[in-house]
Amino acid sequence: MNSVVDPAIGALLERFDRPGPRYTSYPTAVEFSDRFTVDDALRCYADVGRRGAELALYVHLPFCRERCTYCACNVVSTPRHDRVSAPYVQHLLAEVDRVAEAVGARAPVSQLHLGGGTPTYHTPEELTAVVEHLRERFDFAPDAECSVEVDPRVTSRAHLEALAAAGFRRLSVGVQDLEPAVQVAIGRDQPAAMTAATVADARALGFVSVNVDLVYGLPLQTVESLRDTIRAVLDMRPDRLAVYSFAWLPNAFAHQRAIDEATLPRGAEKVALLGAARDLLLEAGYVDIGIDHFALPSDPLAIAQAAGTLRRDFMGYTTRQSTEYIGFGVSAIGYVAGAFIQNEKRLIDYLRAVDGDTLPVARGVQLDDDDLRRAYVIGELMCNFHVDKARYRAHFGRAFDADFAEDLPRLAPLIAEDFVVDDSEGIRVTTTGRFVARNAAMCFDRYRRGAGGNSFSRTL
């Protein structure tokens, strides 16, 4: 879609560039409250056990050897592996025991994801211990999907061998950008050959799916340099690619202030980066998935989107059928029994809570019926770019237009530019409108009411 990088269209899209959520949850984490207590979490976990609900598990491993300046994740950077790694794993195992006890049964598990930070900061033996402990306390399905995020700079073949032996078959490789000048600007020295070697090792060890993470809008990044990065990545033939927008939040992340703001692509220039990336990936045979993901047509994500069953949560886009998940580790978020539950965000608070023989729950929110309906609509827009009004009525027994009579007028600016279509059948985000899908979703967010707020990155 070469027209997207046309300056006139870029300028038009720029008008809609404002802070807004990525909607990995609804309500977003900004709405979580410390009024949600450990007792509330225990009630939710007990409910999961009574129902025998199928679960996904997320484990947050926060450590990195050093912090990249672009990063907006909950990360603890330290080269002192010997001081932090083993103690953290021990606390993590203790948390797993307490949650499993609260669930009260060996709940069925269909998905496990290790995220970070850098999971491969830990030794192969530590990663094996974490997975084995989870398998002891939960009932993993024989075909459970196990995935892990890796940084090629600290990932050895021994790491990949241990993960493969533990049942992992999906790998997400952090790359961000391969242009040397950009890597210097973001503090990440990672030659293409290093990444290619990690991918090749994973393939040889039986990993069936490899995802590569890229970021657009980084300092000194140009359309041509990003194209060069994508061409180099395509030589590795990943099954999936994520092309994330750089979340520039220097007020929230002090380390980002090391980046010279004048070197950042903005507005139409940033739109052109995503447009160029999209063009190359579509030409290479990938399918546009959600707002920032691409997959080969044979990939389960592409198949799920075509069927209208794609889902989105804190682990990203997913095809899994389980709608509930438990988060372990510092800052991890779970969703069980209609409630979001978040652990302590500071490492010291997390460790103290576990040492105190309690769950390290810091906050959360119990969704009401209105939240559930809005979460459904926002999820459909973010995953499938379409809300079917008849399907909504069948799902909730309510009329879509009546439920959202106050919200639909907020779509008017997007409709006027042909980014969104609203008719008797449903709400549909057009091909060009996918660049502003987050803006469309905000129109149905009762907490935002069309405006993002300073807690979020910009939508473009």
Residue 86 has pLDDT above 80, yes or no: yes
User: Comparing 310 with 396, which gets the higher pLDDT?
Assistant: 396
Q: Residue 418's pLDDT is what?
A: 93
User: Comparing 288 with 214, which gets the higher pLDDT?
Assistant: 214
The alpha carbon dihedral of 13, 18, 22, 27 has a sign of negative
User: Comparing 277 with 10, which gets the higher pLDDT?
Assistant: 277
Domain definitions of the chain by residue range = 2-327, 368-453
Q: Across residues 235-251, what is the average pLDDT?
A: 91
Q: Which residue type, as a one-letter code, is found at position 358?
A: T
In a 13 Å sphere around the CA of 188, the CA atoms on its Cβ side amount to: 28
Tokens describing residue 318 = 């997913």
Q: Across residues 34-48, what is the average pLDDT?
A: 97
Q: Residue 313's pLDDT is what?
A: 80
User: Comparing 248 with 350, which gets the higher pLDDT?
Assistant: 350
**Tokens 């802070």 sit at which residue?**
19
User: Can you tell me the distance from the alpha carbon of 281 to that of 114, in angstroms, rounded to the nearest whole number?
Assistant: 27
Q: Residue 4's pLDDT is what?
A: 46
User: Can you tell me the distance from the alpha carbon of 385 to that of 378, in angstroms, rounded to the nearest whole number?
Assistant: 9
CATH topology of domain 2-327: pyruvate-formate lyase- activating enzyme (3.80.30)
Nearest to 230 by CA among 160, 178, 269: 178
Q: Residue 132's pLDDT is what?
A: 98
Contact between residue 273 and residue 223 where contact means Cβ atoms under 8 Å apart: yes
Q: Residue 61's pLDDT is what?
A: 96
Residue 159 has pLDDT above 90, yes or no: yes
- Residue partners of 149: CB distance under 8 A and separation at least 6: 113, 114, 115, 116, 118, 119, 172, 174
pLDDT tens for each residue of 96-133: 999 999 999 889 999 999 999 999 999 999 999 999 99
Q: Residue 452's pLDDT is what?
A: 52
CA angle 56, 442, 3 (to 5 degrees): 100
User: Comparing 262 with 77, which gets the higher pLDDT?
Assistant: 262
Residue 357 has pLDDT above 70, yes or no: yes
Residue 166 has pLDDT above 50, yes or no: yes
Q: Across residues 144-157, what is the average pLDDT?
A: 96
Mean pLDDT of the chain: 92
Rank 78-82, 232-236, 447-451 by mean pLDDT and report only the highest.
Answer: 232-236
Residue 353 has pLDDT above 50, yes or no: yes
Q: Residue 323's pLDDT is what?
A: 78
Contact between residue 332 and residue 359 where contact means Cβ atoms under 8 Å apart: no
Q: At 136, give phi and psi (nearest 5°).
A: -70, -30
At 420, is the secondary structure helix, strand, or coil? Answer: strand
pLDDT tens for each residue of 194-220: 999 999 999 999 999 999 999 999 999
The alpha carbon dihedral of 351, 356, 360, 361 has a sign of negative
Task: Note the pTM of the prediction, 2 decimals.
Answer: 0.93
The CATH number of 368-453, from 1.10.287.3510, 1.10.230.10, 1.10.10.920, 2.60.40.420, is: 1.10.10.920
pLDDT tens for each residue of 392-419: 999 999 999 999 999 999 999 999 999 9
Q: Across residues 377-390, what is the average pLDDT?
A: 94
Q: Residue 151's pLDDT is what?
A: 96
**Tokens 């002891």 sit at which residue?**
136
Q: Residue 8's pLDDT is what?
A: 62
User: Can you tell me the distance from the alpha carbon of 205 to that of 201, in angstroms, rounded to the nearest whole number?
Assistant: 6
Q: Residue 1's pLDDT is what?
A: 37
User: Can you tell me the distance from the alpha carbon of 358 to that of 99, in angstroms, rounded to the nearest whole number?
Assistant: 10
Q: Residue 3's pLDDT is what?
A: 39
Can the peptide bond before residue 142 be classed as cis, meaning omega within 30 degrees of 0?
Answer: no
Nearest to 194 by CA among 149, 156, 137: 156
Q: Across residues 45-67, what is the average pLDDT?
A: 93
Nearest to 299 by CA among 315, 312, 290, 286: 286
